[in-house]
Amino acid sequence: MDFNDSPEEAKIREEVRAWIKDAAAEYEGLPAPASREEFVARQKSWQKKKYDAGHAGITWPKKFGGQGKGPMESIIFSQEEGKSPAPTALYAIGLGMCIPTVFTHGNQDVIDRFVPPSLSGEEIWCQLFSEPAAGSDLAGIRTKAEKDGSDWVINGQKVWTTNAHLCDYGIIVTRTDPSAPKHKGLTMFIVDMRADGVECRPLKQMSGGSDFNEVFFDEVRVPDAWRLGEEGEGWKVALTTLMNERLAVGGKPRYSPDWSTLLDVAKEIETALGPASEQADVRDQVAQAYINDQGVKLTQQRSLSALSQGKTPGPEQSISKVVVAKQMQEISRFALDISESAGFMAADEGSELARLQGSYFGAAGLRIAGGTDEILRNIIAERVLGLPGDLRPPKDTPFNEIEAL
Amino acid sequence: MDFNDSPEEAKIREEVRAWIKDAAAEYEGLPAPASREEFVARQKSWQKKKYDAGHAGITWPKKFGGQGKGPMESIIFSQEEGKSPAPTALYAIGLGMCIPTVFTHGNQDVIDRFVPPSLSGEEIWCQLFSEPAAGSDLAGIRTKAEKDGSDWVINGQKVWTTNAHLCDYGIIVTRTDPSAPKHKGLTMFIVDMRADGVECRPLKQMSGGSDFNEVFFDEVRVPDAWRLGEEGEGWKVALTTLMNERLAVGGKPRYSPDWSTLLDVAKEIETALGPASEQADVRDQVAQAYINDQGVKLTQQRSLSALSQGKTPGPEQSISKVVVAKQMQEISRFALDISESAGFMAADEGSELARLQGSYFGAAGLRIAGGTDEILRNIIAERVLGLPGDLRPPKDTPFNEIEAL
Amino acid sequence: MNFDFSDEAREFQAQARRFFDAEAGPDAARRIMDGGEPYDKSMWQGVVELGLPALRVPEAHGGVGLGAEEACLIAEEIGRSLAPVPLMSTMLFTEALLAAGSAEQQARWLPGIADGSVIGCFGWGEGGTQVPTSMPDTRVTKDGLRGHKAPVADATAAHVAVVTVAGDEGPILMLVDLAQDAAEVTPVDVLDLVRPHGRIRLDNATAEPMGDADACADVLDKAAVLTAFEAIGTQDAAMAMAVDYAKDRVAFGQRIGRYQGVKHKAADMYIKQQLARAHAMHGAWAFGADAPELRQAAAAARVASLDALAFTAEENVQLHGGIGFTWESNCQFYYRRSRALSAALGSRGFWSDRLVRTLERRNRVAA
Amino acid sequence: MNFDFSDEAREFQAQARRFFDAEAGPDAARRIMDGGEPYDKSMWQGVVELGLPALRVPEAHGGVGLGAEEACLIAEEIGRSLAPVPLMSTMLFTEALLAAGSAEQQARWLPGIADGSVIGCFGWGEGGTQVPTSMPDTRVTKDGLRGHKAPVADATAAHVAVVTVAGDEGPILMLVDLAQDAAEVTPVDVLDLVRPHGRIRLDNATAEPMGDADACADVLDKAAVLTAFEAIGTQDAAMAMAVDYAKDRVAFGQRIGRYQGVKHKAADMYIKQQLARAHAMHGAWAFGADAPELRQAAAAARVASLDALAFTAEENVQLHGGIGFTWESNCQFYYRRSRALSAALGSRGFWSDRLVRTLERRNRVAA
C-alpha cells in the first residue's frame, strides 16, 4: 500500500499545480462578486483559461474537443483546482452531466452547435429532471412534450434546478406518451432557457437561502433536432446522465463541520464536571464523527486507488452520502445542544456556531438531495447485496392508468 | 391524579393479601423443585387452593365456574400473588388463552368436560400455533387436519410451545382446506397431548436453556366434537385467543436488568478518569434505561388506570414489548462492554453480571417472541396511526397457489 | 388509582384546542415570521378571554385557580398550535411567582396576569452556555442588579421578568419590573422565527429578591414539566403532519406509508411520544401533588420529550422529501421550535445527569 | 497511489480462504463446542502446512517473512471461518515478539512458531475489568513473576505467553514459558464456546522482560488492527448469513428481503462494514509502513469494526426470527464471538477515548 502519487501522477500534479498557480493568481483574495453578472463573468473567465490551456474536458474524447485522458488526470486537476482560489461553481452540472449526454445521444449538428461553446464556458447548462410529483420516483415525470410539426411543445414544471436562472440551455426529460408504461413514454430534449414560456423562480429553502429554482414551461417550442436519443427512450438517456452524476465522487460539503469543530466548540463549554471536551459523551461523539467522516474519505481513497490502478472502483463508494448527511445532522444537533443558549441565537457570520447552525439545516436537505437515505439504502441492499426489490404494481401498467395503492 | 387504590380497590387488596398470606405461607423459602413431578405438583396445589377459595377465573363468567368480576380484581390479585412465594408458572397460557377460547367456541359437552378440571388445575394446557414456516406470518400454517369419519387426522409440526411436555391438552390451529385462501382454510381443535402420534421434543435456545418444545403430530386423531368454531373459521378463532394474549399486560421479564443494575456494575469499574459510574456516557445510558423502562411501567399504569375507571385502555400499551426488549439488549451489551474481561467470563450464578449475560441472550429472543420488533412497528403504524398495510399478493389467492414473490 | 387527567381538565384542554385550531396553526405562525410583530395581539385577546393566563391565578387575585394538570394540558396545546402569543412565558412567570413570590409580589402582579394586562417572561440564559443551576454572571451590586439575560422568550413583549441571579448557594430568583430604564430589552435573532426572543440588559436595575436556591431548583423542575408538555404538543403536530403526508404521497405506484422504511419511522415517532407522555404525566402528578418524585419525573420528561421532538421534527422533513425542505413547507416550524425548546432550560446532558443524580440519591435513601 | 492490498497478498488470502471454506466454518466450530478439545488438531496441521503461523516469521528463522498486509487478510479469514485453531493468538504473540522481543527471544521461539510446534498466546486481562493501558496487578517480585491473567484466549493450548506486567511508566511486556510449574494454566468458562480461554496463574514464575511501556502500547495498536480485521471477517460472515436468509425466507407471500425493514437493516450492516474496512485498511497500511497514523487508525478500526460486528450479530438473529434463536442455528456463533472480541483488548469507551486523545495530540502538533 502507498498513499503517495505514482511517479507519473506526481509529474502530472506538478505540471497542473504550476499552471494553476499562475492562471488562478488573479483570483487570490478577491472580494465576493458584487453582482450576479460579476459572479458569472468570473466563472466564465476561469473556464475559458482552462479551455485555452487544454485543461477542459480532460476525460472527454478528442473528437468532442476533450483531452482523451484518464480519470486520474481529471481527479488530480480537480484536487489542485480545489486548493486554489479559482472560481469553479457553474460548470460541474453542465460539463459533468449535460454535455456528455448531448454528445452521447445528440445528432452531429447538435454536437457541433453545443459542445464547443459549453466547453469554453460561453454557454452554461442545467439539468431539468425532478418534478413535484417525481422525486425519489424520478420516472413519475409529468411534464408533457407534444409533437407539433417538426417541433415539440413542452408544458409542465421542474424543481430543484441548480442555477437555472443563470443558464443558457438545459436538458429536460418529458413525457411524450402517457399511454405507454411509466419508463417507456419519456423523451429527452435540449431546451433553450431563454425561450418564450420558460420562467425560473427561486426556490426558497427552509434555511432561508435559495440555491435552486423552480422552472415553469408554458408552450415552450423545441425543434425535433434537439431531441436526445429516440422518442420514448428518455429513461435510458436519463440513466446515462445520472450515471455520470454518480461518477462524481460525492463527499461532504466543504462548509460542513467535522470532529475537530465539535472538539473546539466543546473546549469552550464549562460544565459542572469541567470542560465539555473532557466528558465521555462528547468524546464519544467526536470519535463517531471521525469514524464516519474519515471512514468515508478513506473509502473514497479506495475508489481513487482503483482508478489509479486502472481498475473499476468497487460498490463501497455507495455508502458516502448516506453516512455523511446523517453524520452532519447528528454532529450539528449535538454541538448546538451542548452550546445551549449560544447554539440557539443566530451566531456571527463565519463563527463555528454559525457553521453548525447552517449545517443543521443543510443536513436536512442533504439527506434528501440526489437520493434520500431510504432510496440509497434500497440501492445498496438491492444492487450491492442482491436483495429483491420492493413489491410494486406491475411494470407494464400504462402511466395514465397507474392508480395509487 | 392519584396513584393510590380507590377505597373499593384498597378493600379488595386487603382481603386478597390476607388470604394469600396464609395460603401461600407453605411455599415460603422452599428449595427449587427437585423433579419435574415435584414442580408440577407444587403448581397444581396452588391452583387448587385458589379454585377452592374462589380466586380462580376471576374475570370469567359465573356459568363457566368463574367469579364474574372486573379486570381490576384480577389485576390486584395477580399483583399480590406476584409479591408472594406462590408458584404461578403453569396456568397463564391455559387459563389465560386456551380455556377462554374453549368456552367461547366449544360446544356444551366440550365445555362441561374441559373447563372445570382446567380451572381447578388438574389439567394443564398449551397453545399450538407457531410453525417453522408460520412465525410472523401466523396464517401460513401447514399442519394438516383431514376429515376421516367423525374424526380429524392431524399431521405436521408446531414450534415454540411452552411446557408442551407437561401439558394434558392443547388447542391447535390446522389447515383443513389448502385450496381456500390462506386465512380461510384454517380450523382449530382441542388435542390430547398424551394421544398416540404426539411427540414433544425440547427446543434448545441459543442461550443453552430449553423453555420451549417442538411438537410433532403423526396421524393424531381428534373427534370432530373437539372442534373449536366452524370448519374454516380457525383464523377468527385464533384471533380471539391472541386477543386474550394481548390483554395480558406485557412487561419486562423479572430477571431483566434495569438502570440501577448498570449503575451498580459501573460503580465497581475504575477507569482512567475515575469510577465508570461518574462518566457521562455511562450516566447517559442509565438515564436512557430509566426513561425506557420506567416509561413503559408508567404507560402500563395508564392502562390500569383506565381499567380502574371502567374505561378501555388506549393504544399506548402497544409500545411495551418493542421498547423493553431492545432496551434490555442495549443495557446488557453496554454493561458487558464496560465490564471487559469480567463481562466475558461466565459469571457466578446470581451475580449481577450473570444477570446481564443472561439478559443479553434473553433479549435476542424477546425481540422476536410474540411479535418481532418489525411486526410490532407495523401494527403500531397501521392500527394506531392508520397507515396503509405493506403491499402484498392478492388476499384471495388459494393457499396452495401462493408463490413467493 | 387514577393516573389520568380529570374530565374537567380534558374539557378545558378541548376548549383551548378548539380556539387554537381556529385561530393559531402554521398560517398564524407565518404571519409573525414575516411581519415584525412580537406576537399576535388579537389572538392574545382571545387567549385572555378564554381565561388561559388566569388559569393558575388564585381566585383571590381575580384568577381561575385551577391546578397543575390544566396548566400542563394548555402547554401541550400551545406546543401543538405554535400559537404566537407570549402565553408559555407568562405561565412560567406565573409558576415562579406562585412557587417563590411573596404575598406582596403576588398581589402586585397576579391580578394583571389574570386580566391579561400583564405579560411575564422568564430569564435563564446569559448569551453563552448556561447550565441552569450553575452560577449566573448577573449579580446584585450595591447600586442594583447588573448583568444581561439572553435569549429570553417573549422578553420584547413582557412587562415583567423573573431572572436567575448569583446567590450564595447557587442561583436565586429575582423579580424585575421591565418598566425602568435600567432594564433595557432589545430583540435578538434566534433560530425559531415564530417565538421572538430578547436580551434584557440590567444596568443597576431595581429588582426584588424572590426565591432562594431551593425555590429556584423547584421552579426549574416545574418549568421543565410544562415545557415537556409543550414539546409533546409540538411533536404530536409534527407526527400528524408526517403521517398525513405518508397516507397521501405516492411514489412507485403506492402510497409511501406502505413502505416499512416510512412506516417504522412513524411508529418510532409514536413510541417516543408515549414514553415522553408517560414521564410528563408522572411529572404533572408530582407537580400537582407536591410529591418528591417531581425532580426525577421532570428530568425524565424533559429528556424524553425533547428526544421525541428532535427525532420527529427531523424525520418529518425527511419523510416529506424535497418539498419538506422548502420555506413554504410547515416542516420548518417544528424543526426550528425543537431547537428553541432544547436551548430553553439547559442541555440534554445537564438534564440526564440531573436525572441520574436524583436516582442515585433515591437509591442511597432506599439503601 | 495504491490504497489496496497487493495481488500477492490477495492470492495468499484466497488460498487461506479456500482452506478454511473446506475445513472450518460452523460445523467445525460445533465440534469444538460439543467436544472438550481446546482446538482442532488436524485443522492446525493444515494451517501449519499452509504456512500461516510462519507467515510473519523472517526467513532467517524458517518463516515466510511476509508483511502486515498478509497478516491482516489472514486475520479476516480466521474471523470469517471461526476456525477453531489457536492461530490468532499465535499471530498476536508473534507480533509482540517481532516488535518487542530481543534477538535471543526471537531466535528461541520464532522457529517453533514457523514449523507449528509452538503455540503462543497473549495475556492482557486479569479476571476483573482491566483497561489494557491501566496498571496490571501482575508484577515482578524478587522471587519471580506473581499474578494471574484471565481470560487468555487459547492459553490451554499454548506453550508460551506474552503477558502485560506492571512497569514504571505503565504496563510492560514479559515473556513466560508455560512449561513451568510456576505458571499454571486452567480453563475458564467464557461466553464464546468455540474459542477456549484459560487462566494463567503466575506463582513466582520465571519470566523474561520483553518490551517497555512504549513497546507495549505499540503492540496494543498492532493487535487492535489485526483484531479489527478478524472482527470484519466475522461480521462479513454474519452479514452473508443474514442476506442469504432474507433472499430465501418467505412471509406474507413474499421473500422478506423485499421489506424495507429487512432491506435497510442489511444496508446498515454493509455501511458499517465499509466504514470499519476503510479504517482497518488504513491501519494495515500504517502497521506495514510504521507510519505515525497507526495509533489513530488502530483505535478507529477497532471501534468501527466491533460496532459493525455487534450490530450485525444481533440483527442477524433478529432477521432469522425464532429459528435464529435456537441452539441449532449458527447465529449464536457470531453473537458470542462478538462478545469475545469486544472483551479482548479493552472496552469501547477506552478505545474511543484513546482515539480522541490521539486526534487532540495531532491537533496540538498541527497548531
**What tens digit of pLDDT does each residue of B195-221 get?**
999 999 999 999 998 989 999 999 999
Residue A177, C-alpha cell as written in the block: 406518451
As beta bridge partners, residue B258 has none
Q: Which residue has the higher pLDDT, D247 or C36?
A: D247
Q: Could you tell me the CA-to-CA distances from A242 to A312, B66, C22, C152 in Å, in that order?
A: 18, 70, 46, 48
Number of Cβ atoms within 10 Å of the Cβ of B282 = 26
User: What's the pLDDT tens digit per position in D7-40?
Assistant: 999 999 999 999 999 999 889 999 999 987 999 9
Residue B248's pLDDT band (cuts 50, 70, 90):
low
Residue A382 CB-half CA count within 13 A = 13
Alpha carbons within 13 angstroms on the beta-carbon side of residue D15 total: 14
Choose from A34-38, A401-405, D296-300 the range with maximum mean pLDDT. Answer: D296-300
Cβ proximity of B118 and B47 under 8 Å:
no
Per-residue pLDDT of A318-341, as tens digits, reads 899 999 999 999 999 999 999 999
Task: Find chain C residues with C-beta within 8 A of A343's C-beta.
Answer: 339, 343
**Distance, CA of B294 to CA of B297 (rounded, Å):** 5
Tell me what the mean pLDDT of segment A50-73 comes to.
93
Residue of A nearest to B281 (CA): A281
Cell 472538539 sits on residue = A263
Q: What is the DSSP letter of A168?
A: S
For A284, the closest of B273, B281, B391 (CB atoms) is B281
B-chain residue closest to C4, CA distance: B1
List the single residue in A with minimal CA-CA distance to D282. A298
Answer whether D322 sits within 8 Å of B160, measured CB to CB.
yes
| Half-sphere exposure of residue C270: CA atoms within 13 angstroms, side-chain side | 29
Among the partner-chain residues D310, D318, D324, the one whose CB lies closest to the CB of B333 is D310
pLDDT at B363 over 60: yes
Chain C contact set for D264 (CB, 8 A)? 260-261
- The ipTM, to two decimals, is 0.95
| Cβ distance of B390 and A392 shorter than 8 Å | no
Q: Which ranges of D24-154 would DSSP assign to H, the alpha helix?
A: 26-34, 41-49, 68-81, 87-100, 103-115
pLDDT, residue A104, reads 94
Continuous segment of H or E residues that includes residue A274: strand A274-275
* Sequence letter at residue C286: A
Helix (H, G, I), strand (E, B) or coil at A72: helix
Q: Per the CB < 8 Å rule, is D127 touching B345?
A: yes
* Other CB atoms within 10 A of residue B374 CB: 26
Predicted confidence at residue D25, as pLDDT, reads 87
> Hey, are the CB atoms on C275 and B305 less than 8 Å from each other?
no
Residue in this structure with the C-alpha cell 415537556, named with its chain if needed? C228
The residues of chain C scoring below 50 in pLDDT are none
Question: DSSP character for A21?
Answer: H
Taking an 8 Å cut-off on Cβ atoms, the answer to whether B364 and D192 are in contact is: no
Mean pLDDT of A166-178: 96
* End-to-end CA separation in angstroms for chain A: 52
- Give residue D234's pLDDT band: very low, low, confident or very high (50, 70, 90): very high
**Which chains pack against D, by 3+ Cβ pairs within 8 A?**
A, B, C
Q: Are B387 and C260 in contact (CB under 8 A)?
A: no
Task: Please compute the mean of the pLDDT values over residues A65-73 and round it to a whole number.
Answer: 91
- Residue A312: Cβ within 10 Å count: 8
Chains touching C, CB cut-off 8 Å, 3+ pairs: A, B, D
How far is it, in rounded angstroms, from Cα C171 to Cα C138?
9
Tell me if chain C has a CB within 8 Å of the CB of D259. yes
How many whole angstroms separate alpha carbon C126 and alpha carbon D145?
A: 59
User: Which of B319, B377, B390 has its CB closest to that of C258?
Assistant: B390
Digit-coded pLDDT (tens) for A240-285: 888 766 555 456 677 789 999 999 999 999 887 789 999 999 999 9
Instruction: Say how far apart CA A80 and CA D297 lie, in whole Å.
Output: 26
Q: Give pLDDT tens digits for C111-153.
A: 999 999 999 999 999 987 666 767 889 999 999 999 999 999 9
- Asked if C254 reaches chain D (Cβ–Cβ under 8 Å), the answer is no
Please report which confidence band the pLDDT of residue A398 belongs to, taking 50, 70 and 90 as the band edges: confident
Q: Which residues of A touch C343 (CB under 8 A)?
A: 336, 340-341, 343-344
* pTM of the complete model: 0.96
**Do residues A48 and A120 lie in contact, with contact meaning Cβ atoms separated by under 8 Å?**
yes
Closest-CA distance of chain D to residue A84, Å: 21
Confidence at residue A249, expressed as pLDDT on a 0 to 100 scale: 43
Q: Which residue has the higher pLDDT, D235 or B138?
A: D235
